[in-house]
């Protein structure tokens, strides 16, 4: 049986801020933009006993913790810290499946669970010594259990789920901890009296299909900790996007188009920096009631030109037929990316 390690930097943005400014050490910190509609990107562990959490509106966080210190995000510092951490990770892992700047699955090769645990322990120590950041790790036979274990061990934890004990480890956890169970599915399962992961694991094949469709038995097996998905090394850029949340709801299509134009220019810069072109252009529109609309179109030829991206995105925006509805956020996205061909040099 294989062994998977999941690693996750603790309160990453806030930890980088505390590391770089020692006066913030031990204090409740939230990383957030300023503005009426700003949300908390990350809260330090000192802020969490007050109920401050990621994605919480900043004004609510300040109400819950008046002593909260709010610092602006510094993405250049986060990228540098992430690069330093994952340089250490790659020294010990055969494959690294990055999930974000601060999180990944590791395949350590043909090792026992004890050897994987020792490697994870040593990696944690090296990350702390060389970057000043703490890393939580979960070790298990599969991805989902390793991820849940690292979450359970936070902060600065190392939790190992022994081979063969996966089902028992998961059994009493809330069903929402199971991968693929979102709020709607959780509500539906609770209405049926299914509140724990172990209850999903106890389903028959027929009942699993009835509740979850054709993939029901595989979903049931996941609740038992049976998860054979490999760690996949994947550094490919799949899409690039730019979004903006408005200070106040926006109803004017010309104003929305102006924002889209700016986003198209940003996407041109980012595509050219990576030497990529895009076949697909789309827009994401979040309305004032938090519902989300999406429209996209496919180009005849891939592009990295802002004018073409803007034209396609504007077409998508008009197709959304907003009819004066209030917009909270708009984003432009390019996908189906291909490498830009080398420029032809004319000889005559």
Residues with a catalytic annotation lie at 103
- Concatenating the DSSP letter of every residue in 184-203 gives HHHHHHHHTT--BHHHHHT-
Q: Order of strands, edge to edge, in the sheet holding 42-43?
A: 42-43, 29-31, 69-71
Q: What is the DSSP letter of 166?
A: H
Exposed e or buried b for every residue in 256-272, given b needs 16+ CB within 10 A?
bbebbbebbeebbebbe
Give the helix/strand (H/E) hosting 168: helix 166-171
Q: What is the torsion angle, in degrees rounded to the nearest 10, for the CA atoms of residue 29, residue 63, residue 328 and residue 186? A: 90
Distance CA 128, CA 339 (A): 37
Q: Which residues contact 155 (CB under 8 A, 6 or more apart)?
A: 10, 11, 45, 134, 136
Q: Which residues contact 205 (CB under 8 A, 6 or more apart)?
A: 216, 217, 220
Question: Which neighbouring-strand residues pair with 96?
Answer: 106
Q: What is the DSSP letter of 174?
A: B
- Concatenating the DSSP letter of every residue in 86-136 gives HHHHHHH-SEEEEEETTEEEEE--S--HHHHHHHHHHHHHHHHHHHS--EE
- The label of the residue with tokens 């220019």 reads 265
Distance CA 291, CA 246 (A): 15
């Amino acid at each position: 049986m294989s062994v998977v390690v999941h690693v996750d930097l603790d309160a990453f943005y806030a930890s980088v801020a505390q590391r770089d400014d020692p006066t913030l050490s031990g204090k409740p910190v939230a990383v957030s933009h300023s503005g009426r509609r700003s949300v908390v990107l990350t809260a330090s562990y000192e802020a969490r006993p007050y109920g401050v959490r990621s994605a919480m509106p900043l004004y609510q966080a300040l109400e819950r913790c008046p002593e909260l210190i709010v610092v602006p995000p510094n993405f250049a510092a986060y990228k540098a810290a992430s690069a330093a951490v994952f340089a250490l990770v790659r020294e010990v892992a055969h494959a690294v499946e990055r999930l974000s700047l601060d999180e990944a699955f590791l395949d350590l090769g043909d090792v026992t669970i004890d050897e994987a645990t020792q490697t994870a322990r040593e990696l944690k120590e090296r990350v702390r010594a060389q970057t000043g950041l703490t890393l939580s790790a979960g070790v298990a036979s599969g991805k989902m259990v390793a991820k849940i274990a690292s979450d359970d061990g936070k902060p600065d934890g190392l939790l190992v789920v022994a081979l063969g004990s996966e089902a028992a480890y998961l059994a009493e956890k809330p069903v929402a901890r199971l991968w693929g169970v979102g709020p709607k599915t959780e509500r539906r399962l609770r209405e049926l009296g299914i509140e724990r992961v172990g209850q999903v694991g106890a389903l028959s094949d027929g009942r699993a299909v009835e509740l979850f469709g054709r993939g029901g038995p595989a979903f049931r097996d996941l609740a038992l900790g049976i998860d054979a998905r490999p760690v996949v090394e994947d550094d490919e850029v799949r899409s690039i996007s730019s979004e903006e949340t408005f200070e106040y709801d926006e109803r004017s299509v010309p104003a929305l188009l102006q924002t889209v134009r700016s986003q198209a220019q940003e996407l041109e810069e980012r595509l050219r920096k990576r030497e990529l072109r895009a076949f697909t252009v789309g827009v994401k529109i979040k309305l004032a009631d938090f519902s989300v609309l999406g429209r996209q179109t496919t180009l005849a030829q891939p592009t990295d030109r802002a004018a073409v991206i803007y034209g396609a995105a504007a077409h998508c925006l008009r197709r959304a037929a907003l009819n004066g509805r209030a917009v909270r956020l708009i984003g432009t996205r390019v996908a189906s990316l291909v490498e830009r061909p080398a420029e032809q040099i004319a000889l005559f």
